[in-house]
Amino acid sequence: MTTKPTSWARGAALRGLVALPLVAGLVTAGFLLADRAPEPPPAPLPVARDAASGPSVLEVSAPVKAQEPGQGASGQGGKSPLQQWAEQLAGPLDIPADALIGYANGELTLRSEDPSCHLSWVTLAGVGSAASNHGRAGGNALGLTAAQAKKYGGEAPIAAGRALCAGGTDLGAGQGWWKAIAAYHPGNDTELFRQRVLGMAQLYATLSLDPASASSPRVQATRFALGQLGLPYVWGGNGPDAGAAGFDCSGLTKASYDSAGVSLPRTADSQFRALPPVPATQEPRLGDLVFYGSPATRIHHVGLYLGNGLMINAPTEGQAIQIHTYHSKGDDYAGAGRPA
């Protein structure tokens, strides 16, 4: 794959690669309905917003301030800045370096062809993760249909970028991003695909800025939680490894941190009271637990903070594990705790 020349590292710290702010009004976009059919995995479908109290449904968001390919690299050792960038991040992001270079070249190409689209390598990496685990699962690495590949041409990341940017789409606007991912991957699993793309893109953006944290318990716990997207909410559920089809809210957070070697109490209320609180003046960070209820009486819900105003949680009966906004006006958000 040819690495395109780039000077895009200039001013990188001042510009995020993906600008998908929260979009108010898309309040029905994020609910996943857990399919109770006997054949796993459950196929989530979008449903209307639940009128009950609790965390708000997803308002479309995606990563901001991801590191640009080439940022901080010198081009020493006969390798281009882009190659150095990819090799530095391949391990922390768990993405093959060649795939990272492809995603970067996809952005570079679309930045030239269609600058108003605002495509980011982070979005392409999220698509690559959701479609094929960056080619490791076999088949088309970016999930392109034969019709898409023929229509848009070029190497797969470039064709995928052209497909996402088709029709004057602005991926820098939340509504445009959300619709573009749905159009890219239509079908019964569209909602789950979108959430997987969003979740992994957010994680990649965070890790690209702090690669040293990749082996930390909070990142390991977040990866585990993202891997459960689409499983059903099950009251008292501790997940498939414990014989349940899915999780309840605190079962998910406990299992996530168990996977990282950190033991938590079982219930949302006991987790809230056991963890050191995050000061109310600070935004939670990736891996923090976010709680809902009354600190004076009972905490009834918990999620795992993903970043950029989002959390991963198991909401309630009939819904799947999914990404939500973590805090909105009028909810009973009680604060955050930091397991690690």
Dump pLDDT digits (tens) for 121-140.
Answer: 999 999 999 999 999 998 78
User: Would you state the pLDDT for residue 11?
Assistant: 27
Dump pLDDT digits (tens) for 52-110.
Answer: 333 445 544 445 557 777 765 555 667 888 899 999 999 999 999 999 999 999 999 99
Dump pLDDT digits (tens) for 321-332.
Answer: 999 999 988 999
Indicate the average pLDDT of the chain: 83
Dump pLDDT digits (tens) for 310-320.
Answer: 999 999 999 99
DSSP string, 55-105: SPPP------SPPPTTTT---GGG--HHHHHHHHHHHHHT--HHHHHHHHH
Amino acid at site 86: A
Rounded Cα gap, residues 70 and 101, in angstroms: 10
Tokens of 230: 């689409």
Rounded Cα gap, residues 314 and 93, in angstroms: 25
Band (31; pLDDT cuts 50, 70, 90): low
Segment among 37-51, 81-95, 221-235, 248-262 with least mean pLDDT: 37-51
In the predicted structure, residue 220 carries a pLDDT above the cut 90: yes
Superfamily of domain 30-48+216-340: endopeptidase domain like (from Nostoc punctiforme) (3.90.1720.10)
Model confidence, pTM = 0.84
Residue 177 CA from chain centroid, whole number: 13
Ranges of beta strands (E only) in the chain are 289-293, 299-307, 310-313, 322-325, 333-337
Tokens of 90: 């391949």
User: Domains of the chain: which residue ranges?
Assistant: 8-23+60-211, 30-48+216-340
Helix segments in 210-238, DSSP class H: 217-226
| Crossing angle (nearest 10°) for helices 81-93 and 97-113 | 120
In the predicted structure, residue 172 carries a pLDDT above the cut 90: no
Residues 292, 334: contact at Cβ < 8 Å? Answer: yes
Rounded Cα gap, residues 131 and 146, in angstroms: 15
Q: Average of pLDDT values for 210-229?
A: 98
In the predicted structure, residue 178 carries a pLDDT above the cut 50: yes
